[in-house]
Amino acid sequence: MKFLSFRSILLVAATCMLVTLAQPNAKAEATLGIGSKAPAIDIEHWLQDGKGFFKPVKKFEKGKVYVVEFWATWCGPCVMSMPHLAELQNQYRGENVQIISVSDEEVEEVKEFLARENKELKKTFDEITSAYSLTTDPDRSVYKDYMEAANQQGIPTAFIVGKTSQVEWIGHPMEMEEPLQQVVSDSWDREAFKKAMEEQQRLEAAIQEISMLAGAGKFDEAIKLVDKQLEETDDAALQANLKDFRSSLMLSAGHVTDEVVKYYRERLEEMKGDWMSLGQFAYSLTAVVQQGGSVGPLAGEAVAALAPIVDKVDAEAKPLVYNILAQLSKIDEKLDEAIKFQEKAVELSDDRQKKRMELFLEELKSEKEDK
């Protein structure tokens, strides 16, 4: 059973990259967690009822499974989850499963949203959500009892309430297909998920601390904490993200060791022929140098990997890619090459980009004249 989802892994990676100097907000201790008795719900407005199939719920009935999912009309990922929620509800219709989506917006605001059309599906959101129970609770009582009590910070978030009226699972609604199936079939391992979730929360807290240290320029301390997490984490995908973050921190600290160079050479080989991945990697190298780090021979090696496939780059992205190649060539102390790349960046730029590209080209030419 896989508990640490791909989305969770991406969350860790994203958290790693969002280095901040701000202190984290102190969190109150969660009063609602896996295994807790699910609070009764007092929702003000029930706008969808599965075309008459479902009735409003206050207390959860034994033997039934419920999904309490939090959403908002302004939340893109919430809206993207709606067809999946409808699909799940239709799949379990008649099997004592009820999905209840809860907003905290005013009724008219939600109704206006429901009248809009999803252009991709060519259906209104009223039609899309008609399969399940869509509600709004402007006094936020349910939000407080679930989201705030469980220390959940963002939406969409879903809570699966099992047949014993206990919280079985908490997570993104796009990831609850397997947990829901197992809760319904009585094969769900609640304690194993609880342990995995606690481990994930511990790891995210550690990464937040690492990010703070990195944001304060304390790279060596940050690297030590990453090493500690690597020792304590068994999940291979999470280890891969941590190793990637560690290598980035090493460059930021100016530690261009043989180990780090070897790591990134392997990454370059993996990205061979993929201009988008190579472009993102190349850009990350320029950012490291701009922040005072060092990339050693990787600047030239990234140019050697990206330059031969620049013709494959989307037209609108080509000026930016040529600009990145110019920056890396400058870092690699190859000014003639940098000038050629930047001239191409200027040539392909639109009016909005051209002035900025020309300024860097002038800088490169001036630096060459001074030598």
Chain-centroid distance of CA 166 in Å reads 28
| Residue 255 burial by Cβ neighbours in a 10 Å radius (0-12, 13-18, 19+) | middle
Task: Encode 13-37: b = buried (16+ Cβ within 10 Å), e = exposed.
Answer: bebbeebeeeeeeeeeeeebbbebe
pLDDT at position 27 is: 54
123 C-beta neighbours (distance < 10 Å), count: 14
pLDDT of residue 191: 94
Check residue 90 and give its pLDDT. 96
CA Rg value for the chain: 26
Q: How far apart are CA 226 and CA 51, in angstroms?
A: 52
Nearest to 97 by CA among 184, 190, 216: 184
- The residue type at 367: E
Q: Which residue has the tokens 């060092």?
A: 294
What pLDDT is attached to residue 28? Answer: 62
- Which residue from 226, 279, 281, 288 is spatially nearest to 256, judged by alpha carbons? 288
Calpha distance 262→350 (Å, rounded): 38
The confidence score (pLDDT) of residue 206 equals 85
Q: Which residues contact 229 (CB under 8 A, 6 or more apart)?
A: 203, 206, 207, 210, 242
Please list the pLDDT of the chain residue by residue as tens digits (371 residues): 444 443 443 343 433 333 333 334 445 678 999 999 999 999 999 999 999 999 999 999 999 999 999 999 999 999 999 999 999 999 999 999 999 999 999 999 999 999 999 988 999 999 999 999 999 999 999 999 999 999 998 999 999 999 999 999 999 999 999 999 999 999 999 999 998 888 877 877 888 888 899 888 899 999 999 999 898 887 787 788 888 889 999 999 999 999 999 999 999 999 999 999 999 999 999 999 998 999 999 999 999 999 999 999 999 999 999 999 999 999 999 999 999 999 999 999 998 889 999 999 999 999 989 87
Q: What pLDDT was estimated at residue 200?
A: 79
